[in-house]
Amino acid sequence: MGDTLNVGVIGAGKISTAYATTFARLPGVAMTRVADLDAGRAAALAGQFEGVRSGTPEELLAADDVDLVLNLTVPQAHAAVALAAIASGKHVYGEKPLAAGTTDARGVLDAAARAGLVVGCAPDTVLGTGLQTARASVEAGDIGTPLAATAFMITPGHERWHPSPEFYYQPGGGPLLDMGPYYLSALVHLLGPVRRVTGVTATPRATREVGSGPNAGTVFPVEVATHVTGVLEHTGGAVTTLMMSFDIWAGQLPRIEVYGESGSLSVPDPNNFTGPVRLFTAATQDWADVPDRAGYRDAARGYGVADLARSLRDGTSPRASGELAFHVLDVMERLLEAAATGTSLDVASTCVVPAPVPLSAVPEPGA
């Protein structure tokens, strides 16, 4: 790798344009190639950006002008594509979840470690000013010692807007594995890793219907829990109450709130990079906005890749790391297992909480 990390994208579906658009404006990262099982999709994405070539995944993996494979395939393909990238000597950064399950995810991390390669994983939303400002507020002691948190994600289901929504209802999908990574990564940044989980789940509907695109009206099976509730015990002692649902039309719930011994913090949507952070303290007895004090400004999907490029340059860990993504996946898998077996379960894995992001425009070496 020279001064620029060359990125080859595998999986040119719905989310790929967001990454490609970010790379076009970020220093230190360049998209050089695109591949997909669907050659037309790869060509369509590559064609929007000058100098980007499209081809098959095999061609991309064999190419000298790819340092890192950006894996934007569907969750069930995440592990296989990541392993192929590592076998080809490429670093890898994947969309969430890291893999459809922890056994596959462990295989990816072990293969990378053996090969001396780095694994990064979405979400990178938590590196933006929204969550990082909330984290800075907690770490500054604005609410005193954190005692508890809530995390709520409710939607009637992604089949209303995604033209091929089946993967959201297959293993690796569901509201927890799909949206949980945003919330759990945020909670790890705010409150540290999770040591124990309890859960209860429900699957009220056995089928769903594609709501848009050429397959609109197609009925498909639901293979995962679509309403997930749980309790997370963080290693620092705080307790999170969580609900992630594809079964709720509307509600007036916060996304994430953190409650401390001397105040409360309202945290923005962890699926976004920015958003209002609001603080209530026992001293003021009122809510006030917290101005941006940490995080990558104007960030968008792809900043996690740029942060990984930074880490390769300065010899540190990427913030959107495979280790964090593995722990988050482990927490989610144990929560579903606890629900299925009617018990509380210990979470065997842990992770280092990523370094806070200083208020900055782009990932810089040494920061």
Binding residues for ligand NAD, rule: CB under 6 A, are 10-15, 36-38, 41, 57, 72-75, 77, 81, 95-96, 164, 178
Non-local CB neighbours of 115 within 8 Å, separated by 6+ positions: 86, 87, 89
Write down the least CB distance from residue 119 to ligand NAD, Å.
Answer: 15
Closer to ligand NAD at the Cβ: 10 or 328? 10
Write down the least CB distance from residue 326 to ligand NAD, Å.
Answer: 16
Closer to ligand NAD at the Cβ: 54 or 240? 54
DSSP notation for 140-196: TTTTSSEEEEEEEEE-S-GGGT-SSGGGGGSTT-HHHHHHHHHHHHHHHHHH--EEE
Rounded to whole angstroms, how far apart are CA atoms 34 and 86?
A: 17
Rounded to whole angstroms, how far apart are CA atoms 45 and 302?
A: 16
Closer to ligand NAD at the Cβ: 70 or 306? 70
What backbone torsions phi and psi does residue 7 show, to the nearest 5 degrees?
-110, 130
Cβ-closest residue to ligand NAD? 13
Closer to ligand NAD at the Cβ: 41 or 189? 41
Write down the least CB distance from residue 174 to ligand NAD, Å.
Answer: 11
Write down the least CB distance from residue 185 to ligand NAD, Å.
Answer: 13
Write down the least CB distance from residue 9 to ligand NAD, Å.
Answer: 10
User: Does residue 133 contact residue 293 with C-beta atoms inside 8 Å?
Assistant: yes
Non-local CB neighbours of 256 within 8 Å, separated by 6+ positions: 134, 149, 150, 151, 152, 183, 186, 187, 190, 266, 267, 270
Closer to ligand NAD at the Cβ: 88 or 266? 88
Closer to ligand NAD at the Cβ: 97 or 263? 97
Residues forming a β-bridge with 5: 29
Write down the least CB distance from residue 73 to ligand NAD, Å.
Answer: 4
Write down the least CB distance from residue 236 to ligand NAD, Å.
Answer: 29
Q: Is 249 exposed, middle or buried (0-12, 13-18, 19+ CB in 10 A)?
A: exposed
Would you mind telling me the total number of residues written for the chain in this entry?
Answer: 367
**DSSP label at 284?**
T
User: Does residue 302 contact residue 19 with C-beta atoms inside 8 Å?
Assistant: yes
Closer to ligand NAD at the Cβ: 180 or 363? 180
Residues forming a β-bridge with 200: 229
